[in-house]
Structure 1
Amino acid sequence: MFRPLVLSFLVGALPASAQLVTDRPDFTESAVAVPTARVQVEAGASFEVVDTGAGGGAFGVSGPEALVRLGLADGFEARLGLPGYRIADVTRPDDRGFTDLALGAKAGLARFAEWDVAAIVEVSIPVDSDASVSPLAILIVGRDLGAVSLGAQAEVVWDRTTDRTEVGGTAVLGVPLAEHVGGFAEVAAGTTPDGAAVLAHTGATLLLSPDLQLDAHGGLGLTAAAPDAFGGLGLSVRF
C-alpha cells in the first residue's frame, strides 16, 4: 500500500512560490500543492527483495513510477499517475505486468498551530486486468522547525476487487545535509492481506536547479508482511 511518493526539502532562500516541493522519494506526501499554472513531473525506478522462504527469494523491479502534477489554483493540484511496468520476480517471465493508472487531486485544507494540513483523493484504475477501480484518501500534515521539516500522513484505500479496506500511516523527519542536499528518515506502517507491514526508510535529495531534483532512497522491512529490502532512484522536474 505504500508508494514512493513524499515530503521534499525546501530551498529556504527562495520565495514559497519558487520552492520545488516533491512527493518523492519518501512515502509521506507533501502538504504543498504545485504552484498555479506549473506542471511537475516526478519519476523513478525502484526494486524490492522478498524472502520467499526455504532459502529462496524474489527480486522485483518497477518503473517509471511517473506522477504528473498540475497546479490549477492556489493550494490545489490535479494528479495523474501514469501506468508503469512491474516485474514482481525477475526470475519468472510470467510474474510481471502494468501498474494501475491513478487519477486524483490534492488540496490544502488549513494551517493549524504551524502545521499545514492537506488531503489527497485518488482512484486507481487497472489497465491490464479486470480488477475494479479502487478509491484512496490521504490526510497529510507538515511543518518546518527551523532547518528541520516534519511530516506525517494517514491513508485509507478500499480494494474493491478483494472487498478489503487497508489503512496505513507514515512519519518523516527531513534534515539538510549540505547546500542543496537534503536527507530524511521515515517509518511507515500499514495493513496488507498478509498482515501488518512496517518499514524503516531513508534517502537523500540533490537539487540541481530550482526546477530539477535527483533522489535516492532505500529501506528495510521490519515485519514478515513487508519486503526485506527496497530502494530506488528518481528525478523531479518542474515546467
Structure 2
Amino acid sequence: MIGRHPAWMLVACLVLCPVSSASARQGPEGRPEGVGRSPDFGEFSATSTASSPPPPGHPGPWGRSPRPGGLLERLGAPLSHVEDDDGRINTDRPSFTPSNATVPAGRLQVESGYTFSHDLTRTSRNDEHLFPELAVRLGLKDWLELRTFWAGQTYSRTNRRADGALLSRNDGPTNFLAGFKWKLSDQDRWIPEAALITDLAIPTSGTSPNSSDGIEPVLFLLYGWKLTDRFTLAGSTGLTTVFDRGVADAPLDDAFEQFSQSLIGFLSVRERVTLFSEWFVLARTNSAVKLPQHFMDGGILYQPTPNIQLDLRAGFGLGDHPTDFFAGAGLSFRY
C-alpha cells in the first residue's frame, strides 16, 4: 500500500516536472488508440471516461488545413469541417479504458458527459446520476500531456422496492484527479503504442461520501494495436490505493489496493462513426469486497468535425455484485 507521505512526494514530483511548450506535432493518422473511464476507479459508479478509436487510415472527408493560430481562430476551430493537421480528436471517454494517445503539443482538449446507473436487489433499487465528468487535457510535448479530471457531483437514491419508500441518499462531490500522461512507444509491428498515466486523486470534501479520506495515487498502463484500417484492439492495466470513508466495523477497508484490467475493440463503420465494445474488471486486496467485479459495455462515437466528438454508451455488471445497468452520453472539443 502506498502511504500518505510517498503520495505527497509524488505531488512534488508532478509539480516540479520540467515541461515546456513544444512546436505542433504533425501527427500521422491511423494510430492505434485505447479508451477510457475515470482513472479514479474506486467503487465503480459507472463513471467512464473512454477513448476515440484510430481513424480509418485515410485523410477523411474534410480536406486539410493548418493548425489554428489566433485566439478567435482557435475558439472557432472545433466547428471547422476542414481536416486538422493533428488528425481527428482522440478522447479518454466514454469507455473505462483511457486513450493510449496524448493530446498534441500546444492543443487544449475539453471532455464532458453524464452517466446514469441503476442497481436492483431483492429488497431495494438504487438510481445514481453523475455530472459533468469534466476532463481538461493540455499537450505539453509530443510525448507528454497535463491532465485533470473531475467526475463531478453524485446524486444517488436508494428506495425500497415494495413501496418505493426512500431508504438512503448518497450525494456529494467526487475526488479531483490531476497528473500527466506519458507516451512510451509507437506501434512497431507487435510492439503496441503505449502510454502511462500518473495521477493523484485529491479529496474535494471532508463530508462527501464520494470523496476519499486521503490522496490516492493512480497508475494506468495503456496499450493498443491497429490491426487493420478499420479495427483497433486496446487495453489497460491499472492500480490505485483507495482510502474508503466510514466503513463501519471493517477497519481493513480504511485503505486497500485496487487493480483493474480492461480490453476494448474499435470498429470504424463510417468516415465519422466508430463502434466499440469493452470488458473490464475491478479486483481488490485487503478489502471487505473479496470477489472481482466484471463489467461489459459498448457504444458509438460520432465526429461531426475533426475536433468535436459526441458519444453514447451503455453497459452492465456481470454477476450479483456490480451495477446492473449504466448508460451515458458526452461531448468533447479540441482547440
Q: Give the counterpart letter for 1:82 in structure 2.
A: W
- Report matched runs for 1:1-239 at 5 Å: 1=41, 3-11=47-55, 12-14=57-59, 17-54=86-123, 56-82=124-150, 84-89=152-157, 94-111=169-186, 113-129=190-206, 131-146=213-228, 147-161=230-244, 162-191=254-283, 193-194=288-289, 195-239=291-335
1:198 is paired with a residue of what secondary structure? strand
Counterparts in 2 of 1:234 and 1:13: CA distance versus 1, 3 Å: same
2:86 is paired with a residue of what secondary structure? helix
CA contact under 8 A between 1:86 and 1:98: conserved in structure 2? Answer: yes
Q: Give the counterpart letter for 2:139 in structure 1.
A: G
CA contact under 8 A between 2:49 and 2:133: conserved in structure 1? Answer: no
Q: Distance in 2 between matches of 1:222 and 1:40?
A: 33
Normalized per residue, the structure richer in helix is 2
- Higher mean C-alpha deviation, range 118-127 or range 128-137: 128-137
% identity of equivalent residues: 26
1:82 is paired with a residue of what secondary structure? strand
Offset at 1:82? 2.9
1:183 is paired with a residue of what secondary structure? strand
Q: Distance in 2 between matches of 1:209 and 1:38?
A: 16
2:102 is paired with a residue of what secondary structure? coil
CA RMSD of aligned residues (A): 1.9
Q: Distance in 1 between matches of 2:106 and 2:242?
A: 33
Offset at 1:52? 3.5
Offset at 1:29? 1.2
CA contact under 8 A between 1:37 and 1:70: conserved in structure 2? Answer: yes
Offset at 1:90? 6.9
Q: Give the counterpart letter for 1:100 in structure 2.
A: N
- Higher mean C-alpha deviation, range 88-97 or range 175-184: 88-97
CA contact under 8 A between 1:108 and 1:117: conserved in structure 2? Answer: yes
TM-score by length of 2: 0.67
CA contact under 8 A between 1:10 and 1:20: conserved in structure 2? Answer: no
5+ long unaligned stretches in structure 2 = 1-40, 60-83, 160-165, 208-212, 245-253
CA contact under 8 A between 2:119 and 2:127: conserved in structure 1? Answer: yes
CA contact under 8 A between 1:148 and 1:173: conserved in structure 2? Answer: yes
5+ long unaligned stretches in structure 1 = none
- Higher mean C-alpha deviation, range 212-221 or range 77-86: 77-86
CA contact under 8 A between 1:7 and 1:151: conserved in structure 2? Answer: no
Aligned residues between the structures: 238
CA contact under 8 A between 2:192 and 2:225: conserved in structure 1? Answer: yes
Q: Deviations over 1:119-163 (max 9, x none)?
A: 001111111126111111010111211110110010000013422
